[in-house]
Amino acid sequence: MTRHYDRKAVSGQLVSYIPNSYAERTSRPIYALVYLLGFLLCFMIGTILLQPSSISQSLSEPEVRVVAFIWVQNIMEFLGFSPRAALIGTPVVVVIILLALQITSKTSWRVKFADLFLMMGESVLLSIPLIVLSLLLNRQGVVANAAAAGQGTDIRGLLWSDIVTGIGAGIYEELVFRLVLICLLMLIFQDLFGVEKKPAVILSVAISAVLFSAHHHIFFANGHFYQGDTFTVGKFVFRAIAGVYFAVLYAARGFGITAGTHAFYNILAAVARTLLFVSHSDNF
């Protein structure tokens, strides 16, 4: 007897896998939710520890500034939530979205917890090409930034802040720029303008990647424009390429692995910056 499988049950976004294989299981939204719960918890606890006042007021000038997180928080405040409720509710938004995706995917809710350790290893390995690319495109800038950031700063405190920020950015930037923005752009191009699927995908990925890169340099939050990281061609090009890389990962491996890869890249980059500063300081 031939057994039939729902297409969504055997695909990681746009890529099909053998049913119930590791790749198919871990591309399910329920895996993304369980895998990222620890990341969400670390980010929220770290944010509150680094900025205790954040629990009672809006993050207008936070020590840990994840712009995509602030955007979600701003939307909740616009809908009538208090700053405290918005802060607590922002990670709940991620949970609700992933639960909704799991329900609509009609895939199994069963999670093999051994897979979560493999997902962590996969995320680390997938972050390495970005580390290499960053050094190739902007090696001098990385060293200079590490030295400049460390001057007169508590290195351990800076590292902890960078790690907390990096975890939050991994989750919320992927939520905004891949899961939400690409899907929204696809709907606009295909349903509104009638663009064929392939060019619609290319346009959506390109636009999301450029906006992802640009928001690191200038962004709008809390009703004001802010200047972010100093603009250089190397930084902009690297982040745009990273945006395309994350989009491909999202299409192939789903939200969990993509957000995990982004978070681990940020963590490894923060550790590398710290080591570069220590090495740089030892030369004087």
User: Which spans in the chain are helix H?
Assistant: 22-26, 29-50, 67-78, 83-105, 113-150, 155-174, 181-187, 197-214, 233-282
Q: Is residue 3 part of a domain?
A: no
Please name the residue that has the structure tokens 């400049």: 148
Q: Is residue 125 part of a domain?
A: yes
Q: Is residue 43 part of a domain?
A: yes
Q: Give the three-class secondary structure for 283.
A: coil
Residue 247 confidence (pLDDT) above 80 = yes
Q: What is the pLDDT of residue 139?
A: 62
Give the pLDDT confidence of 7-27 residue by residue, as tens digits: 443 334 577 788 989 999 999
Q: What is the pLDDT of residue 53?
A: 55
- Domain residues for 157? 17-282
Within 8 A by CB and 6+ apart from 68, the residues are 169, 172, 173, 175, 176, 177, 215
Give the pLDDT confidence of 203-239 residue by residue, as tens digits: 999 999 999 999 999 998 888 888 888 898 989 999 9
Q: Is residue 231 part of a domain?
A: yes
Q: Give the three-class secondary structure for 11.
A: strand
Q: How many distinct structural domains can be found in the chain?
A: 1
